[in-house]
Amino acid sequence: MRRFTTQTLYEITTTLEAQLRHLSVHETFSFEVLNPDLYVGVYSGQSVTINTEVYIYRNYHNWMNLAQALFCSMQTPVKVNETLVCLTFKKLDMNKSFHQQTVDVEQKYGDTSEFSNIHKNEESSFLLAYKHALHLAKVKQRVRILNLGINQGDEFEVILNIVKESSHIELVGIDYCQSAIQKAQTKFFQPNMHFYAHDINTLDELALGHFDLIISVGTLQSTSINFKEVFMSLIQNYLQKNGAIILGFPNCRWSDGAMIYGAKMPNYEFSDMSLLIKDIYFCKKYLQQKKYRTYLNGKEYIFLTGVK
C-alpha cells in the first residue's frame, strides 16, 4: 500500500489521478497518511516530525475535498497506528445522474425519478446557505411567498421551520411536473399552501397577484425557460415594491448519491462557471438598477438575494 509522508499535494494528486484511470466505477484504492487528529491548529502543508520521521500535515477537510475533486467518495478512515491512518477513495459513477437523462419532465423530475431521491435540505452546504438567504430576505416578515420550481417542496419545509407559526402567511408553489406537485400537495396539506402544475413561461394564466418574497432555486436556468424574460417579468409584475427575491444558482452536479462541487457546461468534461457567473451578474445588476440591495452567498448553490 502506498504511503505518503513528505510528498507534495501536487505529487499526490498526480499519483492518484494515474491510479484512477485504471479503475472501474465503484472500485476503491487506499493509501496511508499522517493521522490528521494528532494536531490542532496546524495548517495543511506544514512539516511535522514524529520519532525522527518527517511528514507533511493535511487535515480531513483537505482529504475530503481531494476525494470530491477526483469524483470519488471517501470511506471511513482506518487507524493503522498512533501515527498513520488508511484512507480509501471509491470512484463514483458520474453517468449515474438525472443530468444525463433526456426523457420527458415526468421521468426526469417526477416522484419516482432519480431526482426525487435528492434531499437538498440534508446537505449542510445547501441548507446553511439557504437559511442565510432567507434571513437576509427577512422571511419572518413576509406574508405572500412564491416558489418557482418547487418540485416536492424542500424550500417551503425550511421556511415553515423558521417561521414556526405560519397561519398568517400564504405559500404558493409552481412546478411543471405534475407528479411532483401531487407529492407536495400530499406533504403540505395546510389551507394556506397552494400548488400548481404549470409552465413558468406562462405565469400570467394563473392570475397569482403580487408577492413580497419570490424564490427560485435551480429552475430559471432550465433550457425550457426564457431566463432573462421570466426573471425581469417576476420583478416587474409579481414582486411587491417592498419585496425580496432569492435566486439559487446550482454550482454542482448530483451523481451517484453525491453532490459534486462545480457547474458543468454541456459538452465540457470539466467544470466551468462561465454561464453561472454571466447569469448571476445579469440578475445582480438588474436588481441594483431597480434599487435592491443584493447579497451573494453559498458554495454548491450560489444564492443571490435582493431586498428593497
14: CATH: 3.30.110
* 16 shares its domain with 142: no
Q: Is there a single domain that holds both residue 77 and residue 116?
A: no
What backbone phi and psi angles, to 5 degrees, belong to 21? -60, -20
The answer on 122 and 16 residing in a single domain is no
Where helices occur in the chain by DSSP H, the ranges are 9-20, 60-69, 105-109, 124-136, 154-163, 178-187, 227-233, 274-289
Question: How many Cβ atoms sit within 10 Å of the Cβ of residue 71?
Answer: 19
pLDDT digits (tens, 9 = 90+) for 92-123: 998 888 776 666 777 788 888 888 888 999 99
Residues 22 and 134 in one domain: no
For 156-213, what is each residue's pLDDT tens digit? 999 999 998 778 899 999 999 999 999 999 999 889 999 999 999 999 999 999 999 9
Look at residue 171 in the predicted model and tell me its pLDDT.
Answer: 96
Question: Which residues span the domain enclosing 126?
Answer: 98-307
Lowest mean pLDDT among 156-160, 214-218, 266-270, 279-283: 266-270
**Predicted pLDDT at 102:** 63
* One domain for residues 181 and 122: yes
Last residue of a domain, one of 91, 108, 140: 91
Average pLDDT over the chain reads 93
Cell of 82: 498512533
Amino acid letter for position 151? N
Instruction: Note whether 75 and 136 are same-domain residues.
Output: no
- What pLDDT is stored for residue 98 in this prediction? 75
The pLDDT value given to residue 219:
92
Residues 161 and 85 in one domain: no
Record the pTM: 0.92
Q: Structurally, how many domains does the chain consist of? A: 2
- Residue located via cell numbers 491512518: 85
Helices then strands, counting H and E runs in the chain, come out as 8, 16
Last residue of some domain: 63, 91, 119? 91
Domain shared by 30 and 76, yes or no: yes
Same domain, yes or no, for 196 and 134? yes
Per-residue confidence (pLDDT) for residue 181, from 0 to 100? 93
Same domain, 48 and 119: no
Instruction: Write down which residue in 60, 91, 122 finishes a domain.
Output: 91
In a shared domain, residues 81 and 118: no
pLDDT digits (tens, 9 = 90+) for 34-91: 999 999 999 999 999 999 999 999 999 999 999 999 999 999 999 999 999 999 999 9
* CB distance 181 to 204 below 8 Å: no
> What's 275's domain CATH number?
3.40.50.150
Whole-angstrom distance, CA of residue 143 vs CA of residue 131: 18
pLDDT surpasses 90 at 138: yes
Q: Are residues 135 and 235 in the same domain?
A: yes
